[in-house]
Amino acid sequence: MGFINLALLLPILIIFTIFPKSTCSNSLWAEKFLNSAKRAEVVDWMVNIRRRIHENPEVGYQEFQTSKLIRSELDNLDIKYKYPIAQTGIVAFIGSGNQPFLALRADMDALNMEEGVEWEHKSKNPGKMHACGHDAHVAMLLGAARLLQESRLELQGTVILVFQPAEEGGGGAKQMLDGGILDNVGAIFGLHVSTDFPLGSVATRPGPVMAGSGFFEAVISGKGGHAAIPQHAIDPIVAASNVIVTLQQLVSREADPLDSKVVTVAKFQGDGAFNVIPDSVTIGGTFRSFSKEGLMQLRDRIQEVIIGQAAVQRCNASVQFNTDDRPFYPATVNNEDLHKHFLKVAEQMIGSENVMEMQPLMGAEDFSFFAEAIPGYFYFIGMVNETEGQLEPGHSPFFRVNEDVLPYGAALQASLAATYLLEYSPAPAIREDSLRDEL
Ligand SMILES: *[C@@H]1O[C@H](CO)[C@@H](O)[C@H](O)[C@H]1NC(C)=O
Ligand SMILES: *[C@@H]1O[C@H](CO)[C@@H](O)[C@H](O)[C@H]1NC(C)=O
């Protein structure tokens, strides 16, 4: 290497040494991606994707058409992917193909419920609805994919796009994880649309952000009989009622008041006749905690209480946690370093006044499986435009997505990824000592 070349290189190397690499380009990515995402052609394209998915909602592990739609858009963008993982899941790759690897995740499944909103793109599948915004999550991740693919030559590593099935109780994230999709991946980001925060804002927190969850179902058996001759029956309705009242005391009397927990019985089924004591009653519900120990303690006590309290009224009980269909979800815990990274990128893009710290939620999210395996970060992105009125919360039949959120989600995810790669990319190939040798 000649002297002149070195003289040119030296100031550049000094800049690299003195200043962290990130300070020069952070704001550039955020600004560039938000402008790109707000282009009319990109917005229209995302809106169209979101509406096509909304019209054809598919529940956990049956997202076949949704998955096909995503793959055809990835093909159009010339993005390579692996499929199927966990039946309908897709993992796509953008960038150099080398380390570092950073993952972005979207969930694809809908809910078993009837849409109540009357509009042009209402669900065409009876009894199924995208009432949790996963249609928007997919559109935003494809939006991020498009932005990243347009800038692929500038990416200092590889972005992994994760489109997962069955977030709503089916633990699709766990199955994707078991498929090895995050091997060698440094970190993962996920988001959720929110009807609590204004459009153009985000809300999040470091540490635990959503609770861990489990589900239970119990059959309480007695002996059926005539409703007017109770002495010849063993009444499971009264036994189940006492069980439910006793379950209330697990949180109020056994849990630390400063350690949030929930036990809710949401299902109570007898035979439905007015004048017959049924043979058995089925109850079911869910429990929540921010720690694994807390969750396991609740599980053990729920089982003990149901069996013990049913026995007081001469009934037998069997308790099931159905973990094959509904695995326990760990709490979603946001990594502290990624929190700093998130604040930096989000504040650059939307201003610090629009980045809010929120209280943890007792709701659960299977993103937690990813965040348990590698550093993870989950945040909420606001959709509320007050001039357009109140939005119903997720899982309501009247839930609506404000599609103005799409460019924000796409640009944020893309910027979080590109900036991460920049910060965690390997040191420049030419090091100072090798240079000194040449001098
Ligand atoms: C409960 O189980 C015991 C043992 O299997 C059985 O003898 C009894 O009849 C059962 N009682 C009811 C109410 O089902
Ligand atoms: C909120 O909605 C109004 C009416 O549709 C619209 O004019 C305005 O631009 C929206 N605000 C934002 C921040 O998008």
- What's the confidence (pLDDT) of residue 425? 81
Q: Shortest CA distance to 197 belongs to which of 55, 346, 337?
A: 346
Give the whole-angstrom CA distance, residue 119 versus residue 125. 14
Distances (CA, A) of 426 to 53, 97, 123, 337, 339: 39, 14, 47, 18, 22
Minimal-distance CA residue to ligand 1 atom 10:
316
Whether 201 has a pLDDT exceeding 60, the answer reads yes
pTM of the model: 0.88
Which phi and psi (to 5°) does residue 193 adopt?
Answer: -65, 150
Structure tokens at 268: 């109570």
Give the whole-angstrom CA distance, residue 324 versus residue 4. 67
Pocket flag, ligand 2, residue 387 (CB < 6 Å): yes
- What's the confidence (pLDDT) of residue 426? 75
Q: What is the pLDDT of residues 132-141, one digit of tens each?
A: 999 999 999 9
Question: Region 187-216: what's the mean pLDDT?
Answer: 98
Expressed in angstroms and rounded, the spacing between residue 13 Cα and the centre of ligand 2 is: 47
Domains of the chain (ranges plus CATH)? 21-210+331-424 (3.40.630.10), 212-320 (3.30.70.360)
Q: What is the pLDDT of residues 355-370, one digit of tens each?
A: 999 999 999 999 999 9
Q: If pLDDT is split at 50, 70 and 90, which confidence band does 10 have?
A: very low
Question: Which residue did the predictor score with more confidence, 30 or 2?
Answer: 30
Q: What is the pLDDT of residues 23-79, one digit of tens each?
A: 445 568 999 999 999 999 999 999 999 999 999 999 999 999 999 999 999 999 999
If phi > 0 it is left, if psi is from -120 to 50 it is alpha, else beta; for residue 204 that is: beta
Measured from the alpha carbon of residue 403, the closest ligand is: 2
Minimal-distance CA residue to ligand 2 atom 6:
387
Atom of ligand 2 nearest to the CA of 404: 14
Question: Region 240-259: what's the mean pLDDT?
Answer: 97
Question: Region 234-243: what's the mean pLDDT?
Answer: 98
Long-range contacts formed by 336-342: CB under 8 A, 24+ apart: 336/206, 336/207, 337/375, 338/187, 338/189, 338/375, 338/376, 338/377, 339/204, 339/205, 339/206, 339/377, 341/377, 341/416, 341/419, 341/420, 341/423, 342/189, 342/204, 342/377, 342/379, 342/416
Which phi and psi (to 5°) does residue 127 adopt?
Answer: 75, 10
- What's the confidence (pLDDT) of residue 47? 98
Average pLDDT, the chain: 92
- What's the confidence (pLDDT) of residue 26? 57
What stretches of 103-235 show up as alpha helix (H) in DSSP?
134-150, 172-178
Cis-peptide, bond into residue 84, ω within 30° of zero: yes
Contact 46, 140 (CB under 8 A): yes
Q: What is the pLDDT of residues 139-176, one digit of tens each?
A: 999 999 999 999 999 999 999 999 999 999 899 999 99
Contact 335, 190 (CB under 8 A): no
- Known binding residues for Mn(2+) are 132, 134, 168, 192, 395
**What residue has token string 């395996």?**
373
